[in-house]
């Protein structure tokens, strides 16, 4: 089979490489010529474990190609996937569908026969119907089918999430679209992955509902962590006690500084807007958004309080900047709220992240970017663990302490051991633990 993947971002690149691994002939299109050149030269513009090897092998075997030419890419394609960005529109929180509609129109214009056009990008409910109108207007001469096939990829584990998904969701109006997509996902039959066939709007809503529910689950345990601190309980045991109930499940009950990333913040906001527009506001999701935004800011206040209420003239070392480990993605990372607040409070910031990606462009100027955790903490009055990269878990409290000027440690991911930090002389604070 042959497909075209429009968009070589986190979603398009991973999906394209994985389909190629399934034996499908894949052509990835991107409007960013520099990105296409880099990919052709084997340079991967994003950090995703295993992606460079997967791209290199499939490109070498001729099953994975990159181009800026949509017409070339979609020629003889059984299906064309839209995986362009759907960022939050500045100002009103709606998903910005400019790129999706532009890509759909571009595909329709270039189509030489009836194709199946599949949205893999996360798009608000009703977008598939609008895409159908666009392609019908642009190409009344063709029967272009529109389908929805949302992705459930987590950054940092996107390839295993694609290869062994909990389910494949397909939304469409016609059997033809279902047949093409079932054939594409045939390799997953071997591991009996459930394939859910449903309508367009339902498939679009499943993606938002799943992400909003996960964001709400995280926000719930974050609030339980705050309550644990007030009543002297341990949030990890609360999470374990809850999670052993099969109806709740153990995943996504880790307290932290608030969720970030390119999905939860964007998708919760888009769902809230869709619901408001439909006259059925989802107040639980709206509250999750508000609590999460406040939490990130409150984390900065915790750091300042741990420094005696005044951060001016203090040096703070921050370990971890990305929104989660195993990614270089800074989109909506808690660090983007916490660090500017600390800088505004007069602190001098030193930070280290194993995959700083484009952190320099999006964080306050004047910060020192260290090349190692030990360099970051040199002379610092406080050390804050913000992203739970594995390498931070092994850091020696004694070594940290001897490199620092002060003795405040804030562990916002509960990745360190309280006792060994206290024995090393730290005033150690974490979240949701006595
Ligand atoms: C994004 C959202 O994060 C995700 O929720 C949604 O499911 C898909 O879009 P991501 O892969 O992270 O996923 O997007 P991004 O990293 O912004 O990459 C989009 C790619 O599409 C970029 O490389 C961009 O150059 C390209 N693009 C954009 C096109 O090829 N054509 C366009 O018209 C616009
Ligand atoms: C998420 C969804 O998991 C995925 O299914 C969807 O396709 C895209 O959005 P992603 O945003 O890449 O994936 O990362 P995820 O691992 O879900 O973490 C999202 C945020 O929640 C991160 O900031 C993470 O630190 C936070 N988180 C996650 C917690 O604070 N606690 C948890 O228990 C889990």
Q: Nearest bound ligand to CA 120?
A: 1
Ligand nearest the Cα atom of residue 243: 2
Tell how far the Cα of 151 is from the centroid of ligand 1, in angstroms.
Answer: 13
Domains of the chain: 2-198 (3.40.50.720), 290-429 (3.40.50.720)
pLDDT score of 364 more than 90:
no
Q: 332 CB under 6 A from ligand 2?
A: no
- Through-space distance between the first and last CA atoms of the chain, rounded to whole angstroms: 57
Is the CB of residue 68 below 6 angstroms from any atom belonging to ligand 1? no
Q: How far apart are CA 249 and CA 237, in angstroms?
A: 14
How many Cβ atoms are within 10 Å of 284's Cβ, its own excluded?
Answer: 12
Write the burial class of residue 396 (CB in 10 Å: 0-12 exposed, 13-18 middle, 19+ buried). Answer: exposed
What separation in Å is there between the alpha carbon of 5 and the centre of ligand 2?
24
Parallel, antiparallel, or unpaired: how do β-strands 195-198 and 408-411 relate?
Answer: unpaired
**Cβ–Cβ < 8 Å for 204, 120:** no
Using most ligand atoms within 8 A of CB, pick from 216, 217, 261 the residue to mutate for ligand 2.
Answer: 261
Residue nearest (by alpha carbon) to ligand 2 atom 28: 252
* 55 vs 16: CA distance, rounded Å: 9
Ligand 1 site, residue 30, Cβ cutoff 6 A: yes
From 6, 83, 85, give the residue whose CB has the most ligand 1 atoms within 8 Å, as the site to mutate. 85
Cβ(121) to ligand 1 under 6 A? yes
d(CA 397, CA 417): 9
pTM of the predicted structure, to 2 decimals: 0.93
CB atoms near residue 311 (< 10 Å): 25
Residue 189 pLDDT: 83
pLDDT at residue 232 above 90? yes
Ligand 2 atom nearest to CA at 150:
7
Ligand 1 atom showing the smallest separation from residue 122 Cα: 7
179 CB contacts (<8 Å, ≥6 apart)? none
Predicted confidence band at 190 (pLDDT cuts at 50, 70, 90)? Answer: confident
Long-range contacts formed by 157-160: CB under 8 A, 24+ apart: 157/49, 157/326, 158/10, 158/14, 158/48, 158/51, 159/14, 159/17, 159/18, 159/48, 159/49, 159/50, 159/51, 159/54
Summarize the confidence of residues 414-427 as an average pLDDT: 98
Residues with catalytic annotation? 263
Q: Where are the beta strands (DSSP E) in 51-192?
A: 64-67, 79-82, 116-119, 145-148, 168-172
| Cβ of 264 below 6 Å from ligand 2 | yes
Report helix, strand or coil for 117.
strand
For the stretch 234-280, pLDDT in tens is 999 999 999 999 999 999 999 999 999 989 999 999 999 999 999 99
User: CA-to-CA distance for 44 and 324, rounded, in angstroms?
Assistant: 20
Q: Which atom of ligand 2 is nearest to the CA of 260?
A: 23
34-43 residue pLDDT tens: 999 999 999 9
Return the H-helix or E-strand segment holding 285: helix 283-306
Quick one: the chain helix, strand, coil %, rounded to 5? 45, 15, 40
Task: Work out the number of other CB atoms within 10 angstroms of the CB of residue 227.
Answer: 12
For 107-152, what is each residue's pLDDT tens digit? Answer: 999 999 999 999 999 999 999 999 999 999 999 999 999 999 999 9
Q: Which ligand is nearest to the CA of 97?
A: 1
Q: How far is the CA of 1 from the centre of ligand 2 (A)?
A: 32
282 with 271: CB under 8 angstroms? yes
Q: Is the CB of 122 under 6 A from ligand 1?
A: yes
In the reported structure, the alpha carbon of residue 11 is separated from the centroid of ligand 1 by a whole-number distance in angstroms of 7
Distance 63 CA to ligand 2 centre (A): 31
Ligand 1 site, residue 103, Cβ cutoff 6 A: yes
259: Cα within 13 Å, side-chain hemisphere: 28
The percent of residues above 90 in pLDDT, for the chain, comes to 92
Cross-sheet strand order for the sheet of 168-172: 64-67, 25-29, 2-6, 79-82, 116-119, 145-148, 168-172, 195-198
Please report the DSSP string for 254-266 in residue order. Answer: ---S---SSSHHH
pLDDT at residue 15 above 90? yes
CA of 69, nearest ligand number: 1
Q: Output the pLDDT for position 360.
A: 87
Query: What is the average per-residue pLDDT within 361-368?
Result: 89
State whether the beta carbon of 389 lies less than 6 angstroms from ligand 2. Answer: no
Check residue 261 and give left, alpha or beta (phi > 0: left; psi -120 to 50: alpha): left
Nearest Cα residue to 81 out of 39, 27, 44: 27
Tens digits of residue pLDDT in 55-81: 999 999 999 999 999 999 999 999 999
- Kindly state if the Cβ of 153 falls inside 6 Å of ligand 2: yes
Q: Is 155 in the pocket of ligand 2 (CB under 6 A)?
A: yes
Residue 424 exposed, middle or buried by CB count within 10 Å (0-12, 13-18, 19+): middle
């Amino acid at each position: 089979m042959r497909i075209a993947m429009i968009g070589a971002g986190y979603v398009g690149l991973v999906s394209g490489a994985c389909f190629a691994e399934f034996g499908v002939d894949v052509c990835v299109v991107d409007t960013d010529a520099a990105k296409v050149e880099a990919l052709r030269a084997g340079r991967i513009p994003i950090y995703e474990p295993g992606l460079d090897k997967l791209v290199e092998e499939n490109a070498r075997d001729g099953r994975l190609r990159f181009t800026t030419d949509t017409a070339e890419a979609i020629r003889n394609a059984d299906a064309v996937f839209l995986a362009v960005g759907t960022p939050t529109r500045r100002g009103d929180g709606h998903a910005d569908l400019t790129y999706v509609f532009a890509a759909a129109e571009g595909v329709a214009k270039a189509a030489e026969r009836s194709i199946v056009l599949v949205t893999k990008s996360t798009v608000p409910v009703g977008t598939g119907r609008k895409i159908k109108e666009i392609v019908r207007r642009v190409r009344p001469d063709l029967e272009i089918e529109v389908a929805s096939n949302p992705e459930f990829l987590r950054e940092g584990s996107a390839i295993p999430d694609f290869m062994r998904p909990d389910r494949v969701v397909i939304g469409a109006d016609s059997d033809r679209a279902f047949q093409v997509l079932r054939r594409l996902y045939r390799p997953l039959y071997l591991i009996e992955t459930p394939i859910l066939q449903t309508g367009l709007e339902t498939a679009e809503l499943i993606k938002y509902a799943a992400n909003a529910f996960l964001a709400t689950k995280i926000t719930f345990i974050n609030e339980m962590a705050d309550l644990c601190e007030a009543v002297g309980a341990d949030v990890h045991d609360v999470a374990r006690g809850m999670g052993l109930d099969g109806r709740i499940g153990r995943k996504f009950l880790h307290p932290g500084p608030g969720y970030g990333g390119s999905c939860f913040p964007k998708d919760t906001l888009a769902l809230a807007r869709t619901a408001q527009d439909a006259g059925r506001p989802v107040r639980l999701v709206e509250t999750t958004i508000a609590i999460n935004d406040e939490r990130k800011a409150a984390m900065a206040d915790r750091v300042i309080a741990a420094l005696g209420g005044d951060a001016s003239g203090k040096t703070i070392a921050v370990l971890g900047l990305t929104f989660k480990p195993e990614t270089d993605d800074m989109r909506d990372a808690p660090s983007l709220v916490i660090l500017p607040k600390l800088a505004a409070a007069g602190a001098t910031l030193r930070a280290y992240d194993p995959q700083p990606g484009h952190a320099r462009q999006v964080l306050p100027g004047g910060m020192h970017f260290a090349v190692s955790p030990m360099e970051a903490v040199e002379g610092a009055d406080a050390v804050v663990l913000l992203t739970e990269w594995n390498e931070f878990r092994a850091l020696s409290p004694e070594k940290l302490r001897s490199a620092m000027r002060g003795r405040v440690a804030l562990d916002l991911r509960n990745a360190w051991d309280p006792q060994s930090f206290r024995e090393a002389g730290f005033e150690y604070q974490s979240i949701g633990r006595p």
